[in-house]
Amino acid sequence: MNQLKRPENGYQSRIRANVIRLFYWNGAWGAATALMVFGPKFLWNKTPVFTLLGVGLDVAVGVGMILANKNYLAELDTT
């Protein structure tokens, strides 16, 4: 039996959008962390400039992920 999906209201669509945004930020942070950890050994042979750029990228993406989590939790509080 094929059940019809109910149309989403504004709250549900905002939560869905925040979950997708949070998914992308977490993925970007995981990729930036992997680049920071494995980059010096496998990609740029421990060059300090690239290592510092990798650390800076990881910190910047980490801040973005924290803000995405904050926005997600704030959206859950609104009803």
Q: What is the pLDDT of residues 23-67, one digit of tens each?
A: 999 999 999 999 999 999 999 998 999 999 999 999 999 999 999
18: pLDDT confidence band, cut at 50, 70 and 90? Answer: very high
**Whole-prediction pTM value?**
0.81
pLDDT of res. 9? 83
3-state DSSP assignment of residue 78: coil
User: 29: which residues sit within 8 A by CB, 6+ positions away?
Assistant: 58, 61, 62, 64, 65
Secondary structure (DSSP) of 9-73: -HHHHHHHHHHHHHHHHHHHHHHHHHHHHHHHHHTSTT-HHHHHHHHHHHHHHHHHHHHHHHHHH
- The tokens of 56 are what? 């800076």
Residue ranges per domain, the chain? 29-77
